[in-house]
Amino acid sequence: MPFAQPTASRAEDFRGRIAFHAAATEVARAAKARLIARYGEAPTEQAAAIVSLGGDGCMLETQHRWLGHNIPVYGMNCGSVGFLMNEFREDALEERLAAAQAAVLHPLRMRASTEIGGVAEALAINEVSLLRETRQAAKVRILVDGKVRLPELICDGVLVATPAGSTAYNLSAHGPIVPLGANLLPLTPISAFRPRRWRGALLPGEAEVVFEILEAGKRPVAAVADYTEVRDVRRVEVREDRSVSLTLLFDPDHGLSERIIAEQFTV
């Protein structure tokens, strides 16, 4: 949804109130220096928007770093992959921020219990994935809202993705792309061996997914929420956390919903 106020007045709201975060590359750092020289830089806590300079990895890092601060993030592509990024241009940055369309996302909350009795929690903006740690395939039981839906999945791994993350690892694992606003979560196996023909499922956005690791001692499994890894898990609970929101900003006509739809027609 676009901001409600006219572009001319909104541009003033961003003047002197932009924070910048750059990837650890020469190109991104040089771009950040030029933009700061031109627009100044506000402390992030006082910023009206954060401009993330890099690729999708940098955008993910920016979102995690400031998750819960309710500061919109606007990405400009200075990297190799930029599905979540806008085109890099130095001119009229304040006006671009004022005209931007907002996409509000909710992360997944992972709660992982380990073999030694530990418990770890983490948030995932893209996906929560379970991955085998050794040459042995993983064996996983899958429950949805307390009901066993798959007694045993033998696989390299399995993941639950957000709609925004459905075009990332989920898509590489041949999972479905989910449009924003569909209120669905893709559940996708990674190199499933048995049942061989199972291709995953689309679950309601409010569903709770539980993974129970079978033969965990022989077939150890790691759980990963974006880039937070917990090794040797025995049970992993995943659900969308709607108490946490993050806002991404996109140039008009290139919003995230449009990109997700367009990605489904890419050949």
Annotated binding-site ranges for NAD(+): 56-57, 126-127, 156, 164, 167-172
Exposure string over 45-79, b if 16+ CB within 10 A, otherwise e: eebbbbbbbbbbebbbbbbbebbeeebbbbbbbbb
Sheet hosting strand 101-105, strand order edge to edge: 18-22, 49-54, 73-77, 246-250, 101-105
Q: Does 226 participate in catalysis according to the annotation? A: no
Distance CA(169)–CA(150), nearest Å, equals: 22
Per the structure block, which two tokens stand in for 23?
A: 């990837």
Distance CA(213)–CA(137), nearest Å, equals: 11
Distance CA(11)–CA(15), nearest Å, equals: 7
- Pick the catalytic residue from 56, 145, 232, 253: 56
Phi and psi (nearest 5°) for 30? -65, -40
Distance CA(4)–CA(248), nearest Å, equals: 16
Provide the β-strand partners of residue 157: 131, 190
List the binding residues: 56-57, 126-127, 156, 164, 167-172
Catalogue the active-site residues.
56
